[in-house]
Structure 1
Amino acid sequence: MDYSIIRQARGLLVFTITRAAKRNAVNFEVMEGLKKAIEQAKGEDVRALVITGEGEQAFCSGGDLSVFHELRTEEQAYGMLSKMAEILYSLAVLPKPTVALINGTAVGGGCEIAAACDYRIARIGAKLGFIQGGLAITTGWGGGTLLLERTNASHALKLLTEASVYRAEQLDHIGWINKVVEKASVIEVEQFLEKELSMYSGVLSAYKEIQVRKWQETDLHGRILQEVRTCAQLWAQEEHHQAVDAFLDKNS
């Protein structure tokens, strides 16, 4: 199995991508696993959902290009992109606190998963970047839209359009990384959420609902789907396929 879902002490539910050999890249099985974890996190005995990756090298390197590069047309791409975008939207509006525990590199779709979470705790030196522009596409799982909800618009636009990779410490000062730690562990999450984990869960859900109502008023879901469609259109262009071919050749 390419993922694990484990209940920890104090009501934490931990979803881990267990594809260390693939730098924890997302495939369809990981998508289904994350969907299951989000559903389980709605249970009364769960106080918060934590998402992380196996090992110490990568949180998530985005979509598995060895699988998704088989998608050539706009509609083929849209099917995959919209599936993950719906999952990340469900993650964003989950009525429980959510934490991306960034244990290593988070690039491309990995950053989009992190953007869907309420909080981001990252290991010192972890590399992060919305690198999609270098592959001649945009964010396609809703991550660009969510990033613009999570941080200052000018900072978000810079991160998206530069398509560069940064260290976690560089993103701490703009507030997108909430805490930088020596070692990414569940203990760090417990310390970060210490007060929340001892609070009545109905209070936490009520505050999340305030945020969700705002997003409903500004049609977050519709804006995410527009982002997906734009990415799918770019995905079908020859520039993207050539960029992915070059990337795969470089890393083979």
Structure 2
Amino acid sequence: MALLAGCRVFSHAFRGQAANLDGVCTLQDVMQRAVCSLRRYSSESKAGEELTVRYLDGGDSGIVVFGVNRPKAKNAISKNLVKMMSEAVESVKKNNKVRSVILCSMVPGVFCAGADLKERAKMHQSEVGPFVSKARALITELGNLPMPTIAAIDGAALGGGLEMALACDIRIAATSAKMGLVETKLAIIPGAGGTQRLPRTVGVSLAKELIFAARVIDGTEAKALGLVNHAVEQNKSGDAAYLRALELAREFNPQGPIAIRMAKLSINQGIEVDLTTGLAIEEACYAQVIPTKDRLEGLAAFKEKRPPRYKGE
């Protein structure tokens, strides 16, 4: 009885996650590849901003790209960047048309170099704690987005930069990319989730080794350790990981959007509990997809031997 009651509470608490997701997406490799390979995301953001946000259209409708753009600071995490990213995350969280988010860099050769140490050096000691708390909250919110998130690591992802990538569901790296939680070199520890997410990703003993040694590894080794899903050879334009991330987002797009959100919620919640509770969580999430129009559309499409046209309803 207690288990069933818990299941009902969970189901009620997350019923809002299954809100309607408008829009139909199909897997079309049209002119978007050419446009996206140039990575011109200025249509949704003002020139010179530290974060550009691009809502793709056409066959890629539903894919949103966050592009970090602080070339002089190697995309280091500043107060302003935290503010802009927090606003962007909040915006897509409330947008039921968004089916996946790609986090990438607009700066060649770097994903994110971690905290902006020059800005940090100018902070009073009393300011450091609150800033780290805001950065941690941002990365937590990024991890809690209901739709799939993909980090495209085309360059160095160090400290807080790797912590941002760890908060994403999937990581793709160029083989030449460099990654590491290097905070112990500065006599501090990862403070935005690194000590928690890295062990959950690569295992406790290996995470300890990497953090204690402040070790930096490349994309090939990261793939071998399970830190990234895919490692790809870098191309001349320096965006190989981004292009692979885009391909992956295109694989997600045609699937039932409510189902994907519920699958993510079930996995994320279930992995933190025992199997019995996890199965109850799965049952609660499954209950959210049963009454959807998309489920009936999927059955009809299968019967009629045609591609489904999901509307997120």
The answer to whether the superposition gives a TM-score over 0.5 is: yes
Q: Matched residues in 1 for 2:253 and 2:245: separation? A: 10
Q: Which moved more, 1:102-111 or 1:180-189?
A: 180-189
* Mapping of residues 1-252 of structure 1, within 5 Å: 1-9=49-57, 10=60, 11-42=62-93, 43-73=95-125, 75-183=126-234, 184-185=239-240, 186-214=242-270
With normalisation by structure 2, the TM-score equals 0.65
TM norm structure 1: 0.80
1:13-62 deviation per Cα after TM superposition (whole angstroms, max 9, x unaligned): 11111111211111111111211221222212211111111222210001
* Distance in 1 between residues matched to 2:221 and 2:123, nearest whole Å: 34
**DSSP-derived class of the 1:45 partner:** coil
For 1:169 and 1:216, how far apart are their aligned partners in 2? 28
SS of equivalent residue, structure 2 residue 66: strand
Runs of 5+ in structure 1 lacking a partner?
Answer: 219-252
Corresponding residue SS for 1:140: coil
| 1:135 to partner: Cα distance | 0.5
Q: Which whole-Å CA distance do the structure 2 matches of 1:165 and 1:90 have between them?
A: 26
Instruction: Count matched residues.
Output: 217
Ranges in structure 2 where 5+ consecutive residues have no aligned partner: 1-48, 275-313
* Distance in 2 separating the partners of 1:149 and 1:94: 18
1:58 touches 1:104 (CA, 8 Å); kept in 2?
Answer: yes
Q: Which moved more, 1:144-153 or 1:28-37?
A: 144-153
Query: SS in structure 2 opposite 1:193?
Result: helix
Native 8 Å contact 1:106 1:126 kept in 2:
yes
- Bigger Rg over Cα: 2
Deviation at 1:182, TM superposition (A): 2.5
Cα distance in 2 for residues equivalent to 1:15 and 1:191: 16
* Contact residue 60 and residue 107 of structure 1 kept, 8 A: yes
Q: Distance in 2 between matches of 1:135 and 1:79?
A: 19
